Structure 1
Amino acid sequence: MKIHYAAVALSFFVLQPFCRAPAGMNASAFAQSASTSSAQSAVPAGTSNEGIPRNKKIVRIPEAKRPAAPDREKSEKAALSDKSSDTVKEYRDTFRYGVSPEITSLLQKCIDNDDPRFSDDAYDLFQTTRSSQVREKILEYFTHLKDPCLEDYAVGVLDDPYDTKNSTVEAVFRYVSAVKSKEALPAVLALLDTDSDAYFQAALTTIGEIGGPEEAQYLAGYIDRDDLTVVQKQALARVLGKLHATETWAKLVSIAQNEDENAFVRMYAAEAIGAMQKSESIPILAELYESSDPNFRQYVIKGLSHYPGSGEAKEVIMQGIRDEHYKVRLEAIAAVKKLKFTEASPYLVYRAKNDKEKVVKNACYDALASLGTKDGNAYLVEIVSDPKSGDTAKVDAAKALASQGSVGEKEMLALAGETLKDDRRKQLRYALGKLFAQYARAGYADICRDFLLSKDAATVSLGLDMYAKAKYTSAYSAVASLANDKKSGANGARARKILGMSEE
């Protein structure tokens, strides 16, 4: 393990939270010189001027390591989307011989398909590529997989980011956040005290994701700084909430209650005192909900969403579903979904029927499907099956139901069957076909076959998507028929590829 001694002396910063590195000196060097200077003062070794032990933080570059073995369940699920038996070989050839756009496109496909099978290929390419686009996309891939195999590279970049592209540094920040890299913390803390606002913001956000009590104590010293921008204050308030830095609770309460404070800083302060999960926050937030600022009310609801057992918090959240501003309604709907407040089901049904904002209607559909109450499920199924419902509403309700399982499956399949008989409803048919192609479910086998037997090429293509996802046995003969029909064009070629047949 490599050790870099150019990191922060944490206690120095805690004791002197207003210090910034002088121009032309990076924070690591500044921390080192400060530590050295303090060590020369007339105090016992290992202590500060005030008798506090100096806990010098060292940046340790982790040893290089290979990616974790691909998750078997995810690999098997991803393989269902392979177009043919040659797909894996084709992908590996792209990693070896492809140009940058081909490789980044393939990596995005792997991310979208949650496909971990190519982690070794991506890792090996990362070691040799000279393309920053490819490097950043590989970082994104391992960020998605939450695989710490690139931790050595990431910590090294954060320890000295100044000669690295900003976009790459940003990707590294996201990566260490995703993999919860504790080894990155000393380097990230040092970047808080650089002259770069971009590094400050990213470092602060990252500490909110990977920091702990020690970092919370350190950041508490920032709450009274007068040299932070409004944007930095916003980020600081949110991070202090994430870290449960309860020693700053009283200060954040005063910020949230201060109507002369910047509106956005107040919003994040309200969210933060809620995130700290102190019961004393509940009555304060309940009172703050009476604000005339809808954005502020939205963040009050965010704060209250951290109290699943509080009757007072629940009462305010339920009121939020009826708020006059759609943003507040959306936040309250998200809260009842998160907290599983089944009592909200009648409110959600009412808003789904009557709200003027489509985005609120859709949020109600999702929340109702997630809560799974009898009246909520019945309402969503009714939308799918009622001839008077609009096609857009039918699709949105079907999406919500399908995301949760098999409730309403019979009605959705019946609706899809109706559209196969009526070409005037092709758009609804296509939307339902795309939905069915997202899931490998036994109940979709017959509709897959029926799509494949359609005379409409786009419908057949969706049937192939369904088959590629789940390889339904009952639909095999329809795929084989397409594959053997030389007049079936692009769909025939796709069928042959899915079945692993040669084009010769």
Structure 2
Amino acid sequence: MKEPMRKPLRRTGSVQNIGLIWLLFSFFFQVSGLPFVYAQNKEGENTASQIEQKRRDTILYGTEEEIAALIPVLQKENVTYLDTELIRIGETTKNVKILTALFSFFSEANKKGLEKKALEIIDNFYDEKKETVIQALTYLGVRKEQNALESIKKVAESEETSLVSAAIKALGSIGSDSEEKEKLGRYLREYYETKASEKEEIKNQIIQALGVLQDKSSASFISEIAKNNDERPVRRIQALGALQALQVQETLPTILEALRSADPNVRAAAVGALGPFSGPEVDQAILDAFRDSFYKTRIGAARAAGERKLTVAIPFLKFRIENDAVAAVKEAAIKALGAIESPEAWEVLSQICFSKKYSDPLRIGAAEELIRIDADRYAEPLIKALEEARKDKQKNLFNGFARVLGNAKTQAVKPLALQFLTSSDVIEKNYGLQMVANNRFTDLADTVRSLTDEKNGALALRARETLKKLEE
């Protein structure tokens, strides 16, 4: 007897729709770059060791696009565990994208290891891509590589403006640690008067480099530029910044004279340049600048008051915080109060930090200054303010206070560190790890170790790095 034929199963519309929805859903996550959490967690793919290994494999075997895309991620996370591999690829590759990204990363973090490669590029700069040469020059400047001075001068003698500008900047940075400081200063001044006669960008860069170089024999040369009303305002501004860096008392009359300039940007630069100088005339000039209608001049006044630790400016700073229409002026005033570091300034900062009448950014800014000044004293009241922000569902304020406390170095944050480490919130866990690392809370090592489970992904990497710091 024949077995009856089975009818094929019909796929219902609902099944088809579910399949289509799932396909579209997964496609969305692929193209959007968002983590496909369900699949990764289910299969355990997004683990700490696999993230680390995948990054290492990318460096070893990836395409130029893949490696160049990975480096900014490492830069953002300030990753150190791949430095050896990065240096190795930097020494061997000729790929422009990779080299440019590597020099940028190593410059920002001031990492050693690529000096030889950078020198090789500078010595053959005619055969290299412009962007690679510029990044190599920047790196050598950051590293203050004394052996590179003569090679960089050769780049400065070229006709490409962007390369010349980068070379001069590097000379100023390297020369600040050089025994040939005066010789370099003379070289740059002569360059300014001869080869840079019609190159505005290079002239400005030379003035800036002379300030960074800290060659005080260049003070009179720069002063003449700063006081010349026929000079371009941007060049006078650069010159005033250089005079601020040089701190030569004989140039003070030039700076005070610039405060009367009709150009508001020159006035702003002049008041900012007063910071390193002293005397009743300087103090009064700073206080007068708080009344200037141009907001940048008021910012300069705040910065100068902070640098001078000018206690008589505290009422002016408080008034600007409470009444200025420009947020940047208020922020500069808060930083100035922190720099003054007097009990009167601390009281003003406390009022701002712990009073609900002030905006979130001002309260967070005041908190940063208080914790920097005396973390042991201000951590506890700030933790209370943090909990109030949580209770009032003020997310931005809570996150801001948490970030400040994450950077605090005091035993007072240990209970909060434990609370954050055991929180269900990933961001709070990260702040908890930061507190542990900053304060070497070795008795919380077991709690940190519990976060190294592979299922925690990137958080596990952070936990492992924290444990390494505790063991150092």
Assess same fold via TM > 0.5. yes
Identity %: 23
Structure 2 Cα separation of the partners of residues 384 and 378 of structure 1: 10
TM-score w.r.t. the length of structure 2 is: 0.73
Counterpart of 1:141 (choices 86, 100, 105) is 105
Counterpart position of 2:433:
468
Counterpart of 2:260 (choices 282, 290, 294) is 290
Residue 172 (structure 1) shift: 0.7
Residue 408 (structure 1) shift: 2.6
Matched, 1:316 2:280: no
Cα distance change on mapping 1:364 and 1:248 into 2, 3 Å: closer
Residue 178 (structure 1) shift: 0.6
Matched, 1:382 2:378: no
Counterpart of 1:400 (choices 363, 369, 394) is 369
Matched, 1:127 2:97: no
Structure 1 Cα separation of the partners of residues 447 and 103 of structure 2: 42
1:449–1:475: 8 Å Cα contact kept in structure 2?
A: no
Counterpart position of 2:160:
196
SS of match in other structure, 1:408: helix
2:433–2:463: 8 Å Cα contact kept in structure 1?
A: no
Q: Deviations over 1:236-289 (max 9, x none)?
A: 222233335556554543333332222212222333344443322112221221
1:84–1:499: 8 Å Cα contact kept in structure 2?
A: no
Q: Deviations over 1:31-84 (max 9, x none)?
A: xxxxxxxxxxxxxxxxxxxxxxxxxxxxxxxxxxxxxxxxxxxxxxxxxxxx96
Matched, 1:436 2:400: no
SS of match in other structure, 1:221: helix
Q: Deviations over 1:207-255 (max 9, x none)?
A: 2212321121122223433732222222222223333555655454333
Q: How do 1:321-360 and structure 2 match up within 5 A? A: 321-360=290-329
Residue 394 (structure 1) shift: 2.4
Residue 144 (structure 1) shift: 3.4
Q: Which moved more, 1:261-270 or 1:141-150?
A: 141-150
- The one-letter code sitting in structure 2 at the alignment partner of 1:257 is K
Residue 194 (structure 1) shift: 1.8
2:64–2:97: 8 Å Cα contact kept in structure 1?
A: yes
2:67–2:98: 8 Å Cα contact kept in structure 1?
A: yes
Matched, 1:365 2:339: no
- The one-letter code sitting in structure 1 at the alignment partner of 2:190 is G
Counterpart position of 1:271:
241
Structure 2 Cα separation of the partners of residues 249 and 499 of structure 1: 51
Residue 186 (structure 1) shift: 1.3
Counterpart of 2:360 (choices 367, 391, 397) is 391
Mind listing any 5+ residue stretches in structure 1 that lack a counterpart? 1-82, 485-489
Matched, 1:229 2:199: yes
Matched, 1:220 2:184: no
Cα distance change on mapping 1:321 and 1:491 into 2, 3 Å: farther
Cα distance change on mapping 1:342 and 1:86 into 2, 3 Å: farther
2:272–2:303: 8 Å Cα contact kept in structure 1?
A: no
SS of match in other structure, 1:162: helix
Q: Which moved more, 1:432-441 or 1:375-384?
A: 432-441
- Structure number with higher helix proportion: 2
Residue 292 (structure 1) shift: 2.1
Cα distance change on mapping 1:101 and 1:363 into 2, 3 Å: farther
Q: Deviations over 1:98-144 (max 9, x none)?
A: 55566556544554455545432321221233543322232233323
Counterpart of 2:270 (choices 300, 324, 328) is 300
2:156–2:167: 8 Å Cα contact kept in structure 1?
A: yes
SS of match in other structure, 2:292: coil
CA RMSD of aligned residues (A): 3.6
Q: Deviations over 1:174-225 (max 9, x none)?
A: 1111111122111221222222111221122222212321121122223433
Counterpart of 1:418 (choices 366, 372, 388) is 388
Residue 171 (structure 1) shift: 0.6
Q: Which moved more, 1:290-299 or 1:366-375?
A: 366-375
2:91–2:114: 8 Å Cα contact kept in structure 1?
A: no
Cα distance change on mapping 1:266 and 1:275 into 2, 3 Å: same
2:227–2:257: 8 Å Cα contact kept in structure 1?
A: no
Structure 1 Cα separation of the partners of residues 156 and 405 of structure 2: 48
SS of match in other structure, 1:222: helix
2:91–2:117: 8 Å Cα contact kept in structure 1?
A: no
TM-score w.r.t. the length of structure 1 is: 0.69
Mind listing any 5+ residue stretches in structure 2 that lack a counterpart? 1-46, 176-180, 465-472
1:220–1:247: 8 Å Cα contact kept in structure 2?
A: no
Cα distance change on mapping 1:383 and 1:247 into 2, 3 Å: closer
Q: Which moved more, 1:128-137 or 1:89-98?
A: 89-98
1:139–1:172: 8 Å Cα contact kept in structure 2?
A: yes
- The one-letter code sitting in structure 1 at the alignment partner of 2:275 is S
Structure 1 Cα separation of the partners of residues 138 and 198 of structure 2: 23
Residue 448 (structure 1) shift: 4.4
Residue 352 (structure 1) shift: 1.7
Q: Deviations over 1:459-481 (max 9, x none)?
A: x222211233245667977996x
1:85–1:499: 8 Å Cα contact kept in structure 2?
A: no
Instruction: Tell me the number of residue pairs that the alignment of Structure 1 and Structure 2 aligns.
Output: 406
